[in-house]
Amino acid sequence: MDDELFSHDEKAHYARHFLVKDFGTEGQARLKAGKVLVVGAGGLGCPALMYLAAAGVGNIGIVEDDTVDVSNLHRQLLFGVNDIGQPKGAVARQKLLANNPYVDIEHFNQRIDEGNVLAYVRRYDVILDATDNFATKYLLNDACHLAGKPLIYASISQFEGQIAVFNLLEASGRRSTNLRDIFPEPPPAGLSQNCGEAGVLGVLPGIVGLIQALEVIKILTGLGEPLANRMTLFDALGMQVRNVTVRHRASNPLSGKQPSIHQPQVIEARCALAVGKQYCISPQALEERLRNGEPLQLIDVRDGDEHLAVSLGGINIPLGELSRRLPQAVITTDTVVYCKSGVRSLKALHAINAIIGEGRCRTLTGGLDAYVAAGCQERLNTCQELP
């Protein structure tokens, strides 16, 4: 059988797998027949992709529309300094095939959204969530449940990680728990941060991404006990690993007794839940005002090195220094505060309103990420010095 399935070169590549008891040729054959979609080729996606491709997963899809940035290199080890500015997915595909040319890898240079998520999910056996934002995580969670596909979930921040297997078909015929059994809704803006906001120890996504890859291999081969109906909590500083039981929630709007979610839906940015809509400005509205030359004070509340790398201009006042350095101009000039994804700028808005009162300040909804996604990146510039 293996003579038909594996070439001489493949047998050499997978030689150590063939030696593993209860894995062997049959396990390798199941990997070769497997189809895995990895959404995101960043901190989690890079290690997961490296080991899934090297292990011989036969068909791998990569959904990633971002480009390599110098700030990625401390944790995204598929990339080097010569790759900066290049499409992540395309670079990842090339390097993965250099390690294992016996697998098929396809790169999709776009973002997952409510219009395409089901089409992507239905093409693959297992979906691996390597994203860094709640909107996409909930979109993937809901689509995987609706399509009946297992989802390998993970989330990381600073020194901690979470991993779980959602929506796995059990012997009873029931699907295992999903993200909405743990967190019915995403947290409001301002209560959570992604790695671009809070930072992350570089080695952490490597560890968590490898655990995700392991869960994929277990599911494809039928070996071991997948992390279903549980969530693993990993504390890198204390080197502690805890498993928490996850139970089905009767009120789950996706899979409970009276489900109300029947199609994947984008979770709207929840800026309006934390502040009134009048205190938010969309990327398109900001671009129009800037294009028209309207008087506008821009304040970048990211750290100085982030501002130096790329910005919309204006002045740079890190969030922690805002109360001390807030310019007098904010009192008399319409002001927009911005950051990478809108989390820090929302906090800054609250701080500014507390200092000078409400009225003249707005936060850029979704931050620079949303600004670029809206096609307004031409205005971005590299600053030479801080104001």
Strands 297-300 and 315-316: parallel
Q: Residue 382 gets which letter from DSSP?
A: -
For residue 188, how far is the Cα from the chain centroid?
Answer: 17
Is residue 361 part of the annotated active site? The answer reads no
Strand order in the sheet with 335-338: 280-281, 361-364, 335-338, 297-300, 315-316
Task: Considering the candidates 195, 271, 280, 376, report the single residue annotated as catalytic.
Answer: 195
What is the pairing mode between strands 160-166 and 230-235?
antiparallel
Residue at token pair 């700028």:
345
Joined tokens for residue 345 = 């700028």
C-alpha to C-alpha distances, 379 to 261, 294, 312, 316, 345, nearest whole angstrom: 38, 15, 7, 17, 19
Length of the chain: 387
Known catalytic membership, residue 339 = yes
Which tokens belong to 213? 């890859």
Query: How far is Cα 366 from Cα 289, in angstroms, rounded to an integer?
Result: 17
Q: Looking at 271, 339, 361, 376, which residue is catalytic?
A: 339
Please list the active-site residues: 195, 339
